[in-house]
Structures are given as C-alpha cells and as structure tokens.
Amino acid sequence: MLTRKQLELLMFIDRHLRTTGFSPSFEEMKDALKLRSKSGIHRLITALEERGFLRRRAHRARALEVIRLPDHVAPRPAPLPAAATLPAPAEANPAGGAFAPNVIHGRFAPQLSGVAKAANEAAAVHLPLYGRIAAGQPIEALRDSGASVEVPAALLGSGEHYALEVAGDSMVEAGILDGDIVIIRRGDTAENGAIVVALVDDNEVTLKRLRRRGNSIALEAANPRYETRIFGPDRVKVQGRLVALLRRY
C-alpha cells in the first residue's frame, strides 16, 4: 500500500522515463510534488525501493528504474521504437519549470530501402557543428569549417539553428551529458529559466540556465558541484536557446 505522495512520485518518474528516456532530477521531482526540500524526495524514493517499486542503478547519476506499478494502475504503453523521435522538449517557464531535453537515440538502421531513404533524407537537415563549447572563446571562434550534423527537421521549427558538442558535467541534472550534441536556436533573447548559450565578457561561452534577478543575470549550472554565477546585465549576451539534443550510445 503506497501513500498518496509515494504513488504520485512513482507515476511522475514513470511518465518522465517513458517520455524522455532518462530519470527526472531531484529538483524536478521536488517541484512536481510541490515539496519544499529534496530530503522529502530522498525519503520517498527509499520507501519505494523498500517496497519493490523502484531500483537505483549503481554508479550512475539520475539512474532510477521503475520495476513495477501498483496493481490498480493501468498497464504502461509499449516503449518507443529504437529509432523513434521523442516529443518536443518542455520549455522552461518564468516560474522556473524544468527543461526536459529531447533526446534522439543513435540506433539507426544501417541500410534503408530507396523509398525509405528518400523520405528519411527529406525529413532531415544539416546544421553547422561548432565544436565543443568551452570557456575562452566566442561561438564564432568555435566553428569547425565544414563540420555538420544531421538533425530531424521536425525538431527545429522556425529560425536559424546550430549544433554544439557539450564538454563537462555542469548540466547533468538537466539531462545534458558530456559528449552530447545540443541543438541551439540562434537568438539574442530568452525567457527566464531557459537553457542558453551565453557569452560572458565577450570572450567566454557557456551553456547554462538563465535567471534574471533584478538588475543582475544569474547563470545556473545543473550540478550542485558548480556555483551559480551572477553578472551585471551588460556582461552577458545570449547567443541562442537550447531546443533539443542528440545522444549516441
């Protein structure tokens, strides 16, 4: 028998896993259940583990697995096919809602028939790949001439886009890992709470969550090991907003 909060958390984790392919962060779980601290989430997860509903995978960040659901809950739908495109990401909102990145798994069929190949090529576009995002260089300096990445056109929508390879683990709790390819919609503005490519002091580029605090701008990491950095508004320039990411296994 589960408590209301235990059931609510279990169903939220299950939905998140089926939608995105990875576990929600503790911050996302705290917000979803409207709890004041993450300690309550730790207690709920431990209780669900003890009752045989959840399992944590050792030595992996954000690795929760739903083993079973209560008997009165409807069966879960079948998982997506290996090459399926996941739904568009849920964008951050001014109230601080979490961003759920759109992950395209790299398990594609090695050969396609003529008709399928033509349809596949028509539904994809090539974006410039600007190399690994790193401190000390503006976006323009990262460009690797001739490098590109193929992306499903359905992910992009309107506007100009480019791709970057992520270096480091500062955004792991937003589901963005070292080596991922992030898809960025070019622009110089972004809503509060969006994950952006930010140029600091005209020479340092970073991928962080943008928060406006009065007359200041905060660039937040999604990893407790990294501090939030606060800048004056004239020191930060937005160079694009995260809309999707690609990951290969």
Q: Are 133 and 206 in contact (CB under 8 A)?
A: yes
Can you give the CATH number for the domain in which 232 is found? 2.10.109.10
Residue 170 confidence (pLDDT): 87
> Are residue 164 and residue 233 in the same domain, yes or no?
yes
Q: Are residues 58 and 151 in the same domain?
A: no
**Residue 152 domain boundaries:** 103-247
Q: Which of 53, 79, 87 is nearest to 68 (CA)?
A: 53
- Predicted local distance difference test score (pLDDT) of residue 49: 84
Task: Compute the mean pLDDT over every residue in the chain, rounded to the nearest whole number.
Answer: 76
Contacts of 177 (CB under 8 A, 6+ apart): 166, 169, 247
Assess if residue 94 is contained within a domain: no
75 vs 112, residue with greater confidence: 75
More confident call, 187 vs 117:
187
Q: Are residues 222 and 140 in the same domain?
A: yes
Shared domain check, 115 and 215: yes
Quote the number of domains for the chain.
Answer: 2
Whether the per-residue pLDDT at 52 is higher than 60: the answer is yes
- Is 119 in the same domain as 235? yes
CATH number of the domain enclosing 43: 1.10.10.10
| Contact between residue 149 and residue 163 where contact means Cβ atoms under 8 Å apart | yes
Render 35-49 in DSSP notation, one character per residue.
Answer: -S-HHHHHHHHHHHH
Say yes or no: 238 and 164 in one domain: yes
Q: Which residue has the tokens 């190399």?
A: 131
Known catalytic residues are 170, 208
7-33 confidence digits (pLDDT tens): 999 999 999 888 887 888 888 899 999
Q: Is 123 part of any domain?
A: yes
Residues 58 and 109 in one domain: no
Q: What is the mean pLDDT of residues 112-117?
A: 43
How far is CA 84 from its chain centroid? 17
Residue 56 sits in the same domain as residue 126: no
What confidence category does residue 128 fall into, taking pLDDT thresholds of 50, 70 and 90?
confident
Residue 76 lies in a domain: no
Per-residue confidence band for 136, with pLDDT thresholds at 50, 70 and 90: very low
| Overall average pLDDT of the 68-84 stretch | 58
Question: Are residue 34 and residue 116 in the same domain, yes or no?
Answer: no
- Boundary (domain end) residue, out of 66, 83, 114: 66
Distance CA 27, CA 50 (A): 22
Q: What is the mean pLDDT of residues 138-143?
A: 54
Task: Find where tokens 């992009």 sit.
Answer: 156
State the first-to-last Cα distance of the chain, in angstroms, to the nearest integer.
38
Who contacts 31 (Cβ-Cβ below 8 Å, separation ≥6)?
96, 97, 98
